[in-house]
Amino acid sequence: MSDVFINRLAKFLPNNPVTNDEMEDYLGKIDGRPSKAKGIILRNNQIKTRYYAIDKRTGKCTHTNYQLAAKAVEGLLDNQFKKDDIELLACGCVAPDQLLPSHAAMVHGELNCKPTEIVSISTACCAGIQAFKYAFMSVKSGNSANAVAVGSEKVSAWLKADKFDEEAEDLKHLEENPMIAFEKDFLRWMLSDGAGAVLMQNHPNENNISLRVDWVDILSFANQIDPCMYAGCEKNDDGSLTGWAELTPHDWATKSIFAFKQDTRLLGENIVKWGGVMWKKVCEKHKIELDKITYFLPHLSSEFFRPKIMEELEKIGYPIPADKWFTNLTKVGNVGSASPYIMLEELFNGGKFKKGDVVILMVPESARFSYAYVQLTVV
């Protein structure tokens, strides 16, 4: 088994940062009305800017998801490592541009590099780390000498007001208030577009620092909790889901079936608790020395959860002091599966790491509650 090293990191954030006041200029207003939920959600998540692959003037898409991913991968390349040197391309995202072909196939086609092994992972926020783990295991096992892993999101198209127009119009006909349910409006003010990528190799950099991947642990708790974040389906009273293929085209439009939806009650009850359960497991499994951790990079969907996570880690006996935490949520937004890559890239390329630093990544996923933890050591 070979040690695995992250030798290059890159990100791609489309267009200019979008302020809170500009959001509805890009996404539009459902039924022509300002969102009543927007102010409350933004106060809680504390996000100040985010990025959209949308032209503000025309409202048209500027990049697809696979183009965002390819741009991030291109940021890894130069004369010493070219696109035809890639032996494995592992791609993760929440929302690919299409059902078929696969997201990784589209990224590979956009890069136009030589035939290579690809893998596509489409879940929720853990998708990027699942792609990361596949790349890690490929290099670790000797299957490949290098691997590129990329997390990307292009969710802005899902959040635009026109996706909800049919539902708002249908509610008018039913003489109900044509305001979209909070579970659908909630995520419109949380999510961002962008991509991040890493190059893993079976040797460290010669003239620069590298990040040795020590371990990657992922657990699902779906056996214990109903779906919490969902799209392309309808949630039933018993917690089960009815998929889009079992519904009519009329349902797709009038119930905004393809919109991202979040059961905020389940989110609040579970997202912190099960993350604590897994953190205790990995601390005991890997015999983690808490005082040796230099940086803790949690993927936060909202700053609302920061004090709650800190309290939970303290309660279970495995606390991480506040001065070791790093996120860039408030300036780049919640970029889903790309978020851990984008945090790591900022510290790595920003010259913040020094040899011997120990870095922990934490990535929770609320779709049906999966968690990922990663340990890296700067060498």
Q: In this predicted structure, what is the pLDDT of residue 179?
A: 52
Q: Which domains does the chain have, with CATH numbers?
A: 5-207 (3.40.47.10), 214-228+263-378 (3.40.47.10)
200-233 pLDDT, tens digit each: 999 999 999 999 999 999 999 999 999 999 999 9
Tens of pLDDT, residue by residue over 84-129, are 999 999 999 999 999 999 999 999 999 999 999 999 999 999 999 9
Contact criterion met (CB below 8 Å) for 139 and 4? yes
Is it the case that residue 272 has pLDDT exceeding 50? yes
Q: What is the pLDDT of residues 146-196, one digit of tens each?
A: 999 999 999 999 999 998 877 767 655 555 554 566 777 889 999 999 999
Whole-number percent of the chain with pLDDT over 70: 96
Q: What is the pLDDT of residues 297-306, one digit of tens each?
A: 999 999 999 9
Residues sharing a CB contact under 8 Å with residue 359, sequence separation 6 or more, in sequence order: 211, 293, 294, 295, 296, 297, 344, 347, 353, 375, 376, 377, 378
Nearest to 158 by CA among 71, 250, 54: 54
Beta bridge partners of 191: 334
Q: What is the pLDDT of residue 198?
A: 99
**Which two structure tokens, joined as six digits, stand for 78?**
């130069």
pLDDT of res. 181: 64
